Amino acid sequence: MSELYDILVETPPTKVILLALDQGLWDCERSLAELSALCEANHMEAVAQVTQKRQTPETGIVLGSGKLEEASLAAETLGAECAVFDGELTGSQIRNISNALGGLEVIDRTMLILEIFRSRAVTNEGKLQTELALLRYRLPRLQGMGEALSRQGGGGGGGGGARRGAGETKLELDRRHVHARIDALAEKLAEMEKRRGESRKARAKTGMPVVSLVGYTNVGKSSLMNALCGPSVAEADMLFATLDPTSRKLILPSGMAVLLVDTVGFVSRLPHNLVEAFKSTLEEAAWSDVIIRVADAGDEQREEQLAVTDEVLDGLDCADIPRLTVYNKCDKPGAMSFDPDILLTSAKTGYGLDTLLAKLDEMLSDRVHTLKVLLPYDKLGLAAPMRERGSVQVEEYREDGLYLEGIVKTEDLHYFEGYLV
């Protein structure tokens, strides 16, 4: 993150012009608003937007030549250095549009999202995955792209030349080199994926129930995590503040300790290669005991977004994991009104957080038991499952042993048979 903040402080945002083709397939205005926020998240400022309503794209240049002339003029007048198209473009479309705009650099929505993911990646695996996704997407589009993206903080971090490819200009990006880099990245990632599986197994052994927060970007997942566990995860009013899953320990009212996992936020029309690239990140959700689907109570599209969230989760083999829906940001003016059947929360004011915790306790209740035990002094090791995977509420060293009152996981119950009080 510090790298990003340095860039934000040092340089003014790159001015860009947004281009969109409105075929009536989705809410174009809303999509452009999201694109503008994406630009902001990548240190770019949208100074104008040019939209054309038409059923079929113009051959080669997508928008009509008159529209592109209009865009070219607006870009020149407003000092835009780059045009961002709200959709996916092929390599030749990028070249053609760039030519029609007098050589202005052209990028597309997917590239922008991939670049944001790359610059926000925290873990080594996240960095490699994002670089791989970006290189794979850029490879057939090398010509026609310029430097606006590469100026947004390429390089740095990620061990030696590990990230050079993603930050270079088109001239430096020799196809052969990119191919070799893609192969090397894919190989390293396969290795890491294997190790990741092993660490998941290790986590499963610790036995703490896992609860993951999933949902669209900016709905307040990191804020909820902070409000529930105390501050520590970076939070920003920009998209994609979270790239890698972050886990924190959360103590429920019953005393049960759970691992709360924050996952990467979804975006509308998530590019296919991006889903692939982040599959292992989203798969965290598949390893949970409970999935909390977070929606923005003030967003009109919340139900559609929840449906997309479910679709993605279903593709990740999560069908049998209980889901809890939380409508966050209920403090916002115009948010949903109170309904006893709906779990409304505000990470900002703390409203509903107690109910959320109680609900988690209820959903996980069959996972734990409350016990009173007296462990003889030669059996003190048995206290470990209660200390590490449950919680100790009363602890007294007595003449005949250690007296404990607390919570243990159901699968640990057998350790205490024979010592119950």
Ligand X SMILES: Nc1nc2c(ncn2[C@@H]2O[C@H](COP(=O)(O)OP(=O)(O)OP(=O)(O)O)[C@@H](O)[C@H]2O)c(=O)[nH]1
- The contact set with ligand X (CB under 6 A) reads 217-223, 235-237, 239-242, 265, 328-329, 331-332, 346-348
- 300 Cβ contact list (under 8 Å, min separation 6): none
- The minimum distance between CB 152 and ligand X, in angstroms, equals 17
Instruction: Rank residues 81 and 235 by Cβ distance to ligand X and give the closer one.
Output: 235
Q: What's the min distance (Å) between Cβ of 246 and ligand X?
A: 10
Question: In terms of CB distance, is 170 or 348 closer to ligand X?
Answer: 348
Min dist. Cβ of residue 113 to ligand X (A) = 12
Closest separation in Å from C-beta 318 to ligand X = 18
**Rounded to 5 degrees, what angle do the CA atoms 302, 308, 311 make?**
145
Task: Give the nearer residue to ligand X in terms of CB position, either 217 or 288.
Answer: 217
Dist. CA 336–CA 329, nearest whole Å: 9
Whose Cβ is closer to ligand X: residue 235's or residue 289's?
235
Tell the smallest beta-carbon distance from residue 86 to ligand X (Å). 19
Q: Which is nearer to ligand X, 17 or 227 (CB)?
A: 227
Nearer residue to ligand X within complex by CB, 234 or 363? 234
Query: What distance separates the 2 farthest-apart alpha carbons in the chain?
Result: 91
Are the C-beta atoms of 68 and 36 separated by less than 8 Å?
Answer: no
The minimum distance between CB 326 and ligand X, in angstroms, equals 10
Closest CB 283 distance from ligand X, rounded Å:
16
CB contact at 8 A, 139 and 103: no
Q: Which candidate, 106, 135, 153, places its Cα nearest to that of 7?
A: 153
Q: Which is nearer to ligand X, 34 or 105 (CB)?
A: 34
Q: How far is the CB of 218 from ligand X (least distance, A)?
A: 5
Q: Which is nearer to ligand X, 241 or 290 (CB)?
A: 241
Nearer to ligand X, 351 or 403 (CB): 351
CB of 294 to ligand X, least distance (A): 7
Helix axis angle, 353-364 to 221-229, nearest 10°? 80
Residue among 65, 66, 81 nearest 12 (CA): 81
Classify residue 16 as left (phi > 0), alpha (psi -120 to 50) or beta.
beta
CB of 230 to ligand X, least distance (A): 14
For the purposes of burial, counting CB atoms within 10 Å of the CB of 208, is it exposed (0-12), middle (13-18) or buried (19 or more)? buried
Mode of pairing for the β-strands spanning 105-108 and 210-215 = unpaired
Strand partners, 309: none
Nearest residue (CB) to ligand X, 243 versus 258: 243
Nearest residue to ligand X on Cβ basis: 265
